[in-house]
Structure 1
Amino acid sequence: MTSTFAIALVGATGSVGESLLQLLEERDFPVSDLHLLASAESAGRTLAFKGRNLRVRSVEGFDFRTVQLAFFAADPSVTRAHAEAVRKAGCSLIDVSGALPAEVAPRVVPEVNAAAIGGQAPFALTSPSSVAVAVGLVLGALRDQLQVKRVVIDAGLAVSSRGREGVAELARQTAELLNGRALEPRLFDRQMAFNVLAQVDEPDAEGHGQLERRVHADVKALLGSDLSVAVNCHQVPVFFGESLSLTVQASTPVELDKVMAALEAGPGIELVEAGDYPTVIGDAVGQDEVYVGRVRRGMDDPCALTLWIASDNVRKGAALNAVQLGELLIKHHL
């Protein structure tokens, strides 16, 4: 097995791509050559990595035979356009966008279902949606304590879930309103600043958004297809970080002391002491842990458990999980 690897990072100039690049350096990922790739419009930019300035090139025409592992942190259409070429080149692929079917690229969170990785190289893996990563970590830590029958996820998503454009639009709207100017929404279908939107993308015929469908599928892939999952995603006027309210229905009464002990010991989880609660600002943003607080049994049902989660959607929910998948492949499979 080689000790270092040639890596491609597709979508290097996006918010997830830049966070992924930062984590590759912070975690001393065993890179021999790093190829930064993006759209033709972003080609020519330079990004810093380990004291060097690396030029971003267009993904179009890139020869994936020159690398052993490719991270895709761009739009789903980019992954779909290049996935077959990556496979034929013998290169393993880790996708953050959720573009590929689960039977082609299993959804994996290393702390939850690492055993889902099987077969031989080249591998294709999906880093699940950031909401599913946080929920998977928490419920994965409780598997020995609760036989979960149903979970209800209410997710307040930062505008960075819409990429750099979402961040720029919230900043623009906020500035317009604070300066007393008329507001014309652009990216969002109505005012986002100082507001909460009941949906984050266009609903289908049954009223569910595409992201809600993805979270639903991701959580079931991580925790079991027989699990009943309900998902509601809404957009909140926050730049980075996700705030999740999670309600769990177990088959037996919840023993709260055992639940707290399991969360305290859970990998990737920071349990906030009783009487306090975490927020994305001041706790989760910029951190590698999922923060959990307000853990309590149901008011009417002793088999119900409700808790609060704060997580960095870009760093923890997307980039870090992808890098951890790469580390897992390198350690055990490549």
Structure 2
Amino acid sequence: MSQSLDIAVIGATGTVGETLVQLLEEREFPVGTLHLLASGESAGASLPFKGRNLRVRDVADFDFAQVRLVFFAAGEAVTRSFAARATTAGCSLIDLSGALDAAAAPSLVPEANPQLLEGLAAPYQLTSPSASAVALACVLAPLKDLFTAQRLSVTASLAVSSRGREGVTELARQTAELLNARPLEPRFFDRQIAFNILAQAGAPDAQGHIALERRMASEIRQLLGEPGLRVSATCALAPVFFGDSLAVSLVADKAVDLAAVFERLRQAPCVELVEDEGDYPTAVGDAVGQDSVYVGRVRGGLDDPCELNLWIASDNARKGAALNAVQSAELLIKHYLSKILT
């Protein structure tokens, strides 16, 4: 990728946005001019990139005609406000918020469904899925030809960084208050998160499901190409700054060949299989800061030969969000954007 591309990152001052900028440099992404953007209150900050400090500007004043690719790493409201402006200016975009309609901006995990790009036309609109869906797709896609999944149950213990920088700050503040024997006053979360687990990672709808649970279920069906897959999802918040942990149970259409499952996971390009007896991966001890999804506790069901159980640990901000978005952009450049490279 010797040619360069002018790029904008919206939400550059957030936890995912900062990681995304770091990865663009680490992976030697062919950036021409990099424009760092954020909402008005965050504009004016600076971020390092290739030996320079780049000033963050207000997205409201940005002319999208200056770039050919935009990463939307802010919230849903920002994507809804500016995505149309970007595409009207001829920019392709990768959205990490899940705000866009799946038909217009389908979900992409390059290791799971790269064929998605076939038939799409510029300007391209893609969704980088939720971090949990990315981790699931990396692990389950290599197993697709071993069986057909009929039901998938996932309990995701999410890091507080899934709620942005405010979540990280709140956990740190609550922890300090408790360790210093001071009265705890929840602010960002509605109750104590330090040394606790919250049973829902957002506000529930009338049926009791949060938006992230519905999003994850929809995304994994699309990523695996299984529109009829029955999915049960529970997203809880754990007192961990970075790194998600997922307990996964899958029911297949036939008896699961565990030896074949182990072999596929060993060969999967984005998976680190932990298979030593008695060992298992953790978010903090293994996954944080890494580009792989860690899998352990691979086992069948207690009384159902068609059941497969897994434990997954992944860095939500790096692998689950920023890296997947950058890899998606690399795939676009390699196969589909050569005609608009400068």
TM-score range, shorter chain: over 0.9
For 1:1-334, list aligned pairs within 5 A: 3-117=3-117, 118-223=119-224, 224-275=226-277, 276-334=279-337
The percent of aligned pairs where both chains have the same amino acid is: 61
Amino acid paired to 1:241? G
User: Residues of 2 paired with 1:104 and 1:255: CA distance?
Assistant: 37
CA distance in 1, matches of 2:183, 2:53: 42
Contact 1:274 1:294 in 2 (8 A): no
d(CA) in 2 for partners of 1:195 and 1:267? Answer: 35
**Equivalent residue of 1:328, what SS?**
helix
Name stretches of at least 5 consecutive residues in structure 1 with no aligned partner. Answer: none
Moved over 4 A (4+): none
User: Is the Cα–Cα contact under 8 Å of residues 297 and 305 in structure 1 kept in the other structure?
Assistant: yes
Q: Distance in 1 between matches of 2:215 and 2:58?
A: 28
SS of aligned partner of 1:232: strand
Match of 2:327, SS? Answer: helix
Would you say the 8 A contact 2:197–2:238 is kept in 1?
yes
Residue-by-residue CA offset, 1:94-119 (whole Å, 9 max, x unaligned): 00000100011011111111111232
The letter for the 1-side match of 2:115 is A
CA distance, structure 2, for counterparts of residue 295 and residue 119 of structure 1: 37
One-letter code of the match for 2:13?
A: T
Secondary structure (helix, strand or coil) at the match of 2:312 reads strand
Name the count of aligned residue pairs: 334
Amino acid at match of 1:216: A
Alpha-carbon shift at residue 2 of structure 1 (Å): 8.2
1:65-97 residue CA offsets vs partner (Å, 9 max, x unmatched) = 110000010011001000111111000000000
1:121-173 alpha-carbon deviations (Å, 9 max, x no partner): 11000000000000011110111212111110110001101100000000100
SS in 1 for 2:105: coil
| SS in structure 1 of the partner of residue 36 of structure 2 | strand
Note the C-alpha offset of 1:120: 1.7
**Structure 1 residue 274: Cα displacement:** 3.0
Q: 1: CA distance between counterparts of 2:83 and 2:270?
A: 30
Per-residue deviation, 1:45: 1.1
**Other structure's SS at 1:43 match:** coil
Contact in 1 for aligned 2:2/2:30 (Cα 8 Å): no
CA RMSD of aligned residues (A): 1.0
Counterpart secondary structure, 1:112: coil
Secondary structure, counterpart of 2:305 in structure 1: coil
Partners of 1:168 and 1:75 in 2: CA distance = 18
